[in-house]
Amino acid sequence: MTIEAHRKTTIMDIAAKANVSPSTVSRVLRGSAEVAEAKRTAVMQAVTELQYRPNIFAQSLASGQSMTIGVLTQNFGSPFYDGILHGILLGLEKTEYWPLFADGRWHPEIELNAFHLLLDRRVDGLIVIGGQLAEETLRTVAQRTPLIVVARRIAALPDNSLYLNNFAGGYNATRYLLDMGHRDIVHITAPNVNPIAIDDIEQRYQGYQQAILDAGLQLDPRLVVEGNLQQQSGVLAVEMLLSRGRPFSAIFTANDQMAFGARLALYRRGIRVPEDVSLVGFDDEAFAPYMVPPLTTMRQPAAEMGQTAAKAVLDLLNKKKPNLPLFEANLVVRESVTRH
Amino acid sequence: MTIEAHRKTTIMDIAAKANVSPSTVSRVLRGSAEVAEAKRTAVMQAVTELQYRPNIFAQSLASGQSMTIGVLTQNFGSPFYDGILHGILLGLEKTEYWPLFADGRWHPEIELNAFHLLLDRRVDGLIVIGGQLAEETLRTVAQRTPLIVVARRIAALPDNSLYLNNFAGGYNATRYLLDMGHRDIVHITAPNVNPIAIDDIEQRYQGYQQAILDAGLQLDPRLVVEGNLQQQSGVLAVEMLLSRGRPFSAIFTANDQMAFGARLALYRRGIRVPEDVSLVGFDDEAFAPYMVPPLTTMRQPAAEMGQTAAKAVLDLLNKKKPNLPLFEANLVVRESVTRH
DNA sequence: AATTATTCTGAAAACGCTTTCAGAAATTCT
DNA sequence: AGAATTTCTGAAAGCGTTTTCAGAATAATT
């Protein structure tokens, strides 16, 4: 029923029914001007009686606004990204704006395409999560459209990007292992394929190095391995590590997915976690608490970041300077680390 | 650069530049009629030179089509749903249509809201993934808008719903355990809160029962426990089970998430998998291959289902009767089951 | 060469709403 | 009570395309 009306009823119909002009209907509907109480209620009545639903295209065409915020993500399925989306949804909930999602699939071409789709749909604001769009492109767009980039640091747009202190995250994860008595700590990182996109991972790596150094220890290249952030690369990394013969008592992986892979590889080799080697991840994905044993990891405040991002575009929309704090990752201790 | 032009250039500008009427520009742009070669190229040139991008709102308003397919999901973050989304993206890739996503968050209110949002945006077609929308509502909409419901069986809309043979899935999972020599097989299911939405789970349960019966065994209510599909409920289910004291050698869970929870509970109790109890899940989520030990589970062809759904709405759009096969779940054998 | 078909093309009318402009109505002030 | 304000309200002009209609060009027939 409620749906029935979709096709036909226009503002003219309800104007006729309420005995006012279309202009007045528009005014009461969007509250753009005072309207006599009697007419207002007449209009409201007609609206509900006729199940009127404004035509968004006409609205946007006439007003020049789409009342939508474009959200470009890289992978709907990733827990971390999902957390951010969730936050954005929350941040937009009480506003007039609706999110319009597009998925770049971590594919530069698809991403660019999706980016244009959003722009073509005349979104009033844009939130880009991670991704590999050229800084240049982002800068150009930012000049005309309120834009916030989440989970990626754009040097040229300090006031439009929102990210995590990955250095501190890496530092603290390592530091925790150090505090637990570990000395031979391996780090599984990921190569800097795209200098910008994977900057986060690089930062975590640097944090790891600094922590080792601060503890008065030596950096040992034989203790660091590269993966590609996928689970499978975690198992490969451990294989590689084992073949090097360099002893170690703990592993810190740049993300949880690789930690899961590493854990599996260890299991296959009959190496116990945490008795033989301790493990800490990064992200606190949904599965982390259900790994066997539950994974100790660095938690990213994904939802909070999403919500902050939403508020920030809204600020930009209202010409206010947004408040963009540097987010911190928190250690969540579970059972994959033991004292050494 | 490419973006620069967004704001201003209209079809009039390019008409002027190419020395033709706006009508002609429209014609070449959308190929709706033959246009002399000379003018066509002139138009194309103007278009690229002026970086013209049509105004989607004007287009849709005038044509009555939005060239979008609405996709209503329940949770961007779920691997299974993500698989379907991926398939939809694939199915739409080479077409003129773009997907418009909305997330119902498994929340009836939010879902209904999102549903209306999509309708208000005048999507040309609609794909609803799971969810709890009333059948009545869906039926009404289906009368006017091409609609496909995925991963949920709508009795009243046999030609618009696309789902998995959950009964066979449950049957085969159980059958596999039986074939491996197990006799005391527990099943962790989920209560039928919403008679429609969780029908899938109910079907799996029935498949389990039938398999047991077909093997000439007795159904034992002490062997079935209810969870709520979340990981945590898997651990609770196992606790409950253990407290009942009824011995068992294998567990079949209605979904992978509960299997992960169950596995953790077993670990805490020092019960080995698969040596002491075998475990099989349902869904084949991304984490399944990395559980310790890797989880044997029933794989749902999510991407294929998504792609089929996309093709189906497109068919509906073209007044063709869509082909909606019944999908089957396949057993993927890993390491969580052993012969008994 | 005169007709008749075919192709092309521009003018103009939608599409459904917002918003400016100016006049009407209701208030307030002298 | 009349003038000066302030509030309301309708007419009409967009917003940027698509599409119908009919006339102009061009090509095909006789």
B34 CB contact with strand C at below 7 Å: yes
* Cα of A95 to nearest chain B Cα, Å: 14
Does residue A105 surpass a pLDDT of 90? Answer: no
DSSP strands (E only) in chain A: 68-73, 98-103, 125-129, 147-150, 161-162, 185-189, 224-226, 250-253, 278-283, 296-299, 330-332
Q: In what order do the strands lie in the sheet with A330-332?
A: A224-226, A185-189, A250-253, A278-283, A296-299, A330-332
**Is it true that B68-163+302-327 and B166-299 share their CATH fold?**
yes
Mean pLDDT of A17-40: 92
A32 CA, C27 C1': separation in Å?
22
Does residue A309 surpass a pLDDT of 90? Answer: yes
B121 to chain A: which residues are within 8 Å by CB? Answer: 56
Terminal CA-CA length for chain A = 67
Q: How confident is the model at residue B195 (pLDDT cuts 50, 70, 90)?
A: very low
- Give the model confidence (pLDDT) of B151-184 as tens digits: 888 888 999 999 999 999 999 999 999 999 999 9
Q: How confident is the model at residue B3 (pLDDT cuts 50, 70, 90)?
A: very low
- Give the model confidence (pLDDT) of A125-143 as tens digits: 999 998 889 999 999 999 9
Q: Report which DSSP code applies to A64.
A: S
User: Cα(A167)–Cα(A203) distance, rounded to whole angstroms?
Assistant: 5
Mean pLDDT of A196-220: 90
DSSP B116-149: HHHHHTT-SEEEEES----HHHHHHHHHHS-EEE
Q: How confident is the model at residue A180 (pLDDT cuts 50, 70, 90)?
A: very high
Q: What is the CATH number of domain B166-299?
A: 3.40.50.2300
The CATH class of the A68-164+302-327 domain is: alpha beta
Mean pLDDT over each residue of chain B, to the nearest integer: 92
Check if the beta carbon of residue B257 is closer than 8 Å to that of residue B285.
Answer: yes
Check if the beta carbon of residue B255 is closer than 8 Å to that of residue B237.
Answer: no
Mean pLDDT of B18-24: 94
Residue-level pLDDT at A152? 86
Does residue A117 surpass a pLDDT of 90? Answer: no
Q: Which residues of A215-227 are buried (b: 16+ CB within 10 A; e: fewer)?
A: eeeeeeeebbbbb
A88: closest chain B residue by CA: B103
Residue-level pLDDT at B199? 81
Check if the beta carbon of residue B134 is closer than 8 Å to that of residue B197.
Answer: no
CA atoms in the 13 A half-sphere facing the CB of B317: 21
B110: closest chain A residue by CA: A93
B53 to chain A: which residues are within 8 Å by CB? Answer: 119-120
Picking from A85, A5, A285, the residue whose alpha carbon sits closest to that of residue B102 is A85
Residue-level pLDDT at A8? 78
Residue-level pLDDT at B79? 78
Q: Domain extents for chain B?
A: 4-54, 68-163+302-327, 166-299
Residue-level pLDDT at B193? 63
Check if the beta carbon of residue B292 is closer than 8 Å to that of residue B194.
Answer: no
Mean pLDDT over each residue of chain A, to the nearest integer: 92
Q: What is the CATH number of domain B68-163+302-327?
A: 3.40.50.2300
Does residue B5 surpass a pLDDT of 80? Answer: no
Does residue B196 surpass a pLDDT of 50? Answer: no
Residue-level pLDDT at A164? 94
Contact: B78, A77; criterion CB under 8 Å: yes
* Cα of B23 to nearest chain A Cα, Å: 19
- Give the model confidence (pLDDT) of B202-251 as tens digits: 999 999 999 999 999 999 999 999 999 889 999 999 999 999 999 999 99
The two beta strands, A330-332 and A296-299, are: antiparallel
Contact: A121, B289; criterion CB under 8 Å: no
Tokens linked to A264: 């599996």
Mean pLDDT of A137-161: 92
Tokens linked to B48: 């690229």
Does residue B98 surpass a pLDDT of 60? Answer: yes
Does residue A57 surpass a pLDDT of 90? Answer: yes
- Give the model confidence (pLDDT) of B241-257 as tens digits: 999 999 999 999 999 99
CA atoms in the 13 A half-sphere facing the CB of A273: 29
Residue-level pLDDT at B107? 85
Q: What are phi and psi of A120, to 5 degrees?
A: -65, -30
The domain A4-54 having CATH identifier 1.10.260.40: the answer here is yes
Q: Report which DSSP code applies to B289.
A: G
Tokens linked to A210: 């600094």
Does residue A47 surpass a pLDDT of 70? Answer: yes
Does residue A243 surpass a pLDDT of 50? Answer: yes
Residue-level pLDDT at A155? 85
Mean pLDDT of A51-76: 93
Picking from A63, A59, A72, A58, the residue whose alpha carbon sits closest to that of residue A141 is A72
DSSP B156-204: T-TTTEE-B-HHHHHHHHHHHHHHTT--SEEEEE---SSTTTTHHHHHH
